[in-house]
Amino acid sequence: MLIKPLGEYKAPRHTLDAEEDTITKPFPKPIIVVELVEDIKSIDYVVISPSTLSVLSDSFESTKIVGSIQIIYDLSVTQSPSREGLDEEDAEDYNIIEQLYSANRVNRFETNILGKIDIKLHTSGTNSVISIVIPRFSNIITFNLIAKAITEKFIPLIKNQWIVLAPCSLNNNSTINKLIVNSHKSTDKSDEEQSQILEAIPYLKPPHFITGISGAIVSQLNKLEQVSVLTLVLDSEGHSGFEKSSSDSIVDSAFVLGSILLPDSIKQHEYVKAVSEKVRKLNGFSNSGMYI
C-alpha cells in the first residue's frame, strides 16, 4: 500500500488566491433635493416608474416640467499619494518620480467637485398628475434616499393615490399583477368601472418581488398610515435594472392607467394607442434577434 504525502495533491480548483490588501474609498452618499418651480397646492396622483418603463409616462399629452429631483455627489479629492501606509514589501516598488507626477495631477482637483444629476418632474396641464421616471443607479442605497425624499415632499400634496410601476418576471401566465396598500375609494363616477378593471388583475404573490426605485417607494409608503398605493407589476425578463417588459404587459398597463388618470374615453383610447404604437415599433426590432 502506497501512501502519498499530502503535499503532492493538487490544490482544489475552487480555492481562490488571496487578494491584495487595497484601501478603497467608500461610495459617496448623495444629497437628494426635490424642488418644485411652481406653487402646487395639491396633486391627484403621482406616477413613479423606472427608466425601463418610461414609455408609459412619456406618452401622456400636454405635459410640462414643474420641478426636478437633484442628486448631488461630493466628488472632491482630498487624499494625495504618499509613502505613509506602505509596508516594507511595497517600499521597494515605490517610485518617487512617478508619485510626484501623480501628486501634481491630483492637486489640480483638490477643490470641491460636485457631480449633479437632474431628474425632471412632469405634470399634466391641470397639475393633477405628476410623473417621475428614475434612472438606474449602481449604488442601490441611492434608491432608498430618493424614495425617502420623494415621499417627504409629496405626502402633504397627494389627494388620491400613489401609482408605482415595477418590472418583475411573472410565471403565473399574467401580463400584469397588482400590489395594493390601503385601497383607495374614489368619488368619481367612473369609480365602478375602475374597480372592475382592478378586480380583474391578480395580486402579486410570493415568490415574486419588486426591487429598485419601485420597491423603495412602496417600502417607504408602507410605513405610513392612510396612504393609498397602487403598484402595477409588469411581466418582464432580464437582469435587475435592465429588465425588458413584454409588449402586452405595457399595453395592458396603459389601459389601466388611462382608466384611472384620464377623464374621458377618447383620451384614454388615444393614450393606449400612442403607447401601443411606440412599444410595437421598438419591441418589433429588438425581439427579432433575441433567440437564435
Instruction: Give residues with Cβ within 8 angstroms of 193, minimum separation 6.
Output: 259
d(CA 217, CA 49): 10
| pTM of the complete model | 0.76
- Domain assignment present for residue 273? The answer is yes
Residues near 183 by Cβ (< 8 Å), separated by ≥ 6? 228
Q: Is 244 helix (H, G, I), strand (E, B) or coil?
A: strand
3-state secondary structure at position 233: strand
CATH number of the domain that residue 55 is part of: 3.40.50.12120
| C-alpha span between 63 and 121 (Å, rounded) | 10
Is there a domain that residue 229 lies in? yes
- List the domain range (segments joined by +) for residue 163: 40-66+123-285
Closest to 60 in 3D by CA, of 276, 283, 274, 277: 274
Q: Structural domain tally of the chain? A: 1
Domain for residue 230, yes or no?
yes
Question: Does residue 91 form part of some domain?
Answer: no
> pLDDT (tens digit, 9 = 90+) per residue, 251-261?
999 999 999 99
pLDDT at 165: 97
- In this structure, is residue 97 part of a structural domain? no
Q: Give a yes or no: residue 99 inside a domain.
A: no
The C-alpha angle 14, 15, 20, rounded to 5 degrees, equals: 130
Q: Which three cell numbers stand for residue 151?
A: 415621499
Residues of the chain under the 70 pLDDT cut:
1-26, 75-114, 125-126, 184-190, 283-292
Asked whether residue 197 is assigned to any structural domain, the reply reads: yes
First to last CA, the chain: 55
Bridge partners, 134 (sequence order): 50
The predicted structure's pLDDT at residue 44? 92
pLDDT at 6: 57
CB 53 within 8 A of CB 59: no
pLDDT of residue 18: 56
Judge whether 259 and 190 are in contact, CB under 8 Å.
Answer: yes
Please give the pLDDT value at position 95.
54
Q: What is the pLDDT of residue 82?
A: 45
Separation between Cα atoms, residue 278 and residue 177, nearest integer Å? 22
State residue 286's pLDDT score: 52
* HSE-CB of 128 using CA atoms within 13 angstroms: 10
Answer whether residue 272 is part of any domain: yes
Which pLDDT score, from 0 to 100, does residue 255 have?
Answer: 95
